[in-house]
Structure 1
Amino acid sequence: MNLKLFNVKEYTLRKGKTFLNILCNLALIIVLVTTMLFVAANNSTASYAAGTCDIVSFSGTYTYDRMLADVQALSATYPDVVRYEFKGQTALGRQILIIKLGNPEAPRQILVHASIHGREYYVTPLVMKMAEYYAAYEKDLLATTCFTIVPMANPDGVAIAQSGAMATTDVNYQFLINSIGNCDIWKSNANGVDINRNFPIGWGLAETKNPTNSYAFYEGITPSSEVETVILEQLLLENNYDCYIAYHMRGNIIYYYAPTCSPEVYSVSRLIADTVHNSTGYQVVVDFEDTEPNGSFADFAQIFCGIPGCTVECGKTLPPDGAGQVSDFYSKNLSSWKNVANLYISKVTY
């Protein structure tokens, strides 16, 4: 709608209308235009937040290949704020995708990772969709913040949880996967090692563990034996992250406590967890009876690297059930990245 400026006196004389009528007409036009713009903007944002945007979709099974296609489309659509690279190569030949969302030189740096456990793969489209939303609508934030995102930290494990032994054409790995079984609840990588038990801080101390290669809870033959573990370690050691957010499933709860971390890291991690709670409504949980680290990512990040953060357990049902819940926990988590970044507002110079 094009609104032209006009001379009120001239218009009144020509049309014989009163000045009051003109003002009333103007007011009506302004109200209508404002209402239209408001509704359009809110409908656009609402539909986007509801999961109906152009690139990342929650429909169907979200595979490794779909993630690769989506990141290419995101980079092409938002080249100013989306960059990506690959690191390492898994046992089954997949590379780990690393996305840089925002200004790589920004003062605020936040690490996000998802799907370190294969069976929890609904959180991969969650972070991909959040990345798309922020690329489209949070340009100001991304000028002062860079999110390093590992949307599928364990791609082989995800493929096994989705396709069983068909995740590979390697007959030796097919035999290993079939001999272990439990593919529908598979947490480990292709070697049967639980990545979230393979980090060096507290390695071997977990109360729940398997003595050999398994679908879950096997710590590996040595600390950091798995390429997936090493890549996450390198990210933590080589970058000056302010904090991290790790996405898991399930329970709609938030963990933040790493035993033996410093009081400073503990305090900031609690603040981050409370901030995510305020965004999501998820309950913050801490077990102070857990006095030893257990080789997890959180233990390595908080205790060894001194990087605070929290683990967000999304949803109530593990894949492949409950696919409809993804759009729900997307809407709940959407504002959390921005709210966590703004905890570090003092680092931003305007």
Structure 2
Amino acid sequence: MRVVVKYGFIFIFFFLFMPDQGRAYIVDAVDGYTIEQLEADLKDIHKQYGNNLSVKQIGTSHFHQPIWAIKLGEGEESILLIGAHHGREWITSNLLMVMLERYADAYQHKKKIGKFDSNIFDKVSIWFVPMLNPDGVDIQQGKLPVQNKRDFIFMNDGSPNFKRWKANGIGIDLNRQYPSGWQDVPGSPFPSYKGYKGKQPFEAKEVQAVVRFVEEINPMSAIAYHSSGQEIFWQYGARQNIVRDYFLATKLAELTGYSLSIPPEEANGGGFTDWFIEEYGKPAFTLELTDFHQESNPPIRKLWEEWRRNRLVGIYLASEMANWR
């Protein structure tokens, strides 16, 4: 009897605390999430929820890999969520694909997400760009084009271990490529695994793609997901509506348990959210997943904790922006 009780307790504990209990989902905690895995998941998600999704290729990487955007909802207005500006931060792609599928399921079956009504997507859609930097993700995971291996090792300070790789396929740090404050951004003077801002803003093909896309859809707000540190950066420049954006940032902090932070000097300017705030005068937030990790990717075991923290982020922001129309 003691054995039965013990294993029954373990089963009940597992059932109560496993993610999204009682439901088989397509997207799982795939270690080393790649563009190939993302596309396979996206194909299955589109097959199941295609009536509520629009899938669009917005560009290609330097090595001609696709950059995908997925729209959930019918709303003419939208918000934008972006993952994997940096190669070693592919866990952000996992998270956004989990969010896409769970939200699509709730929307299709008219279920609430937390306290939020998924019908909000009839008014404000969410655009997901889960993996902006597929080349950088590949390099970080050791998938190097053979003919360029020597160049990559040189850009990686002579190391054949690419776990710290942030840049795109030609050594440009995509989140140092936007024009707001670009001229003052420090960093590597030449292509590198991190920190090289390029010869000019908008030089990288991946950044060109997302900028064109933002101009096309004109979202009401945006979030760029990064890792790591469990922080939220929200403040930049003179065009910002401080009262509005501080209110939103505070609510996001309450949902996630993350702290509100001011970026260090070397990371101030040149980023996507810096540009979005200054160019459009709209709220944008950088959310850093997981506790702090040195120069490497966060382990995939962190995914479900971060999903728990971020489960309501997208639908909260869509619901809140509906009130600002």
Class of the TM-score when normalised by the shorter of the 2 chains: 0.7 to 0.9
- Deviation string for 1:282-326 (max 9, x for gaps)? 111136x95995211112100122221111001025555532111
In the TM superposition, 1:1-350 aligns within 5 A as: 49=20, 53-103=24-74, 106-138=75-107, 139-163=118-142, 166-169=143-146, 171=147, 173-181=148-156, 183-207=162-186, 209-258=187-236, 260-264=237-241, 266-286=242-262, 294-316=269-291, 318=293, 320=297, 322-346=299-323
Report the alpha carbon displacement of residue 176 of structure 1 after superposing the two structures with TM: 1.4
Using the alignment, how far apart are the partners of 1:167 and 1:50 within structure 2? 38
CA shift in 2, pair 1:294/1:345, >3 Å = closer
- Tell me the TM-score normalized by structure 2: 0.84
Amino acid across the alignment from 1:122:
I
Aligned Cα RMSD in Å?
Answer: 2.5
Using the alignment, how far apart are the partners of 1:128 and 1:216 within structure 2? 25
Using the alignment, how far apart are the partners of 2:238 and 2:292 within structure 1? 31
Using the alignment, how far apart are the partners of 1:243 and 1:84 within structure 2? 20
Give 3-state SS (helix, strand or coil) of 1:97's partner: strand
> Are the aligned partners of 2:240 and 2:277 in contact in 1 as well (CA < 8 Å)?
no
Report the alpha carbon displacement of residue 228 of structure 1 after superposing the two structures with TM: 0.8
Report the alpha carbon displacement of residue 178 of structure 1 after superposing the two structures with TM: 1.8
Percent of aligned pairs with the same amino acid: 25
- Tell me the TM-score normalized by structure 1: 0.78
Say how many residue pairs are matched.
Answer: 296
Using the alignment, how far apart are the partners of 1:211 and 1:346 within structure 2? 45
- Deviation string for 1:30-49 (max 9, x for gaps)? xxxxxxxxxxxxx9997553
> Are the aligned partners of 1:273 and 1:309 in contact in 2 as well (CA < 8 Å)?
no
CA shift in 2, pair 1:321/1:125, >3 Å = closer
Tell which deviates more after alignment, 323-332 or 82-91.
82-91
Amino acid across the alignment from 1:91:
H
Using the alignment, how far apart are the partners of 1:94 and 1:329 within structure 2? 27
Using the alignment, how far apart are the partners of 1:100 and 1:52 within structure 2? 23
> Are the aligned partners of 1:50 and 1:327 in contact in 2 as well (CA < 8 Å)?
no
Amino acid across the alignment from 2:104:
A
> Gaps (5+ residues) in structure 1?
1-42
- Deviation string for 1:196-255 (max 9, x for gaps)? 111122223113x00000001101122111111111211222222110011000111111
Q: Give the 4+ runs in structure 1 shifted more than 6 A.
A: 43-46
Q: Which residue of 2 aligns with 1:37?
A: none
> Are the aligned partners of 1:236 and 1:305 in contact in 2 as well (CA < 8 Å)?
no
Give the structure, 1 or 2, with the largest relative contact order (CA under 8 Å, sep 6 or more): 2
> Gaps (5+ residues) in structure 2?
1-13, 108-117
> Which has more radius of gyration?
1
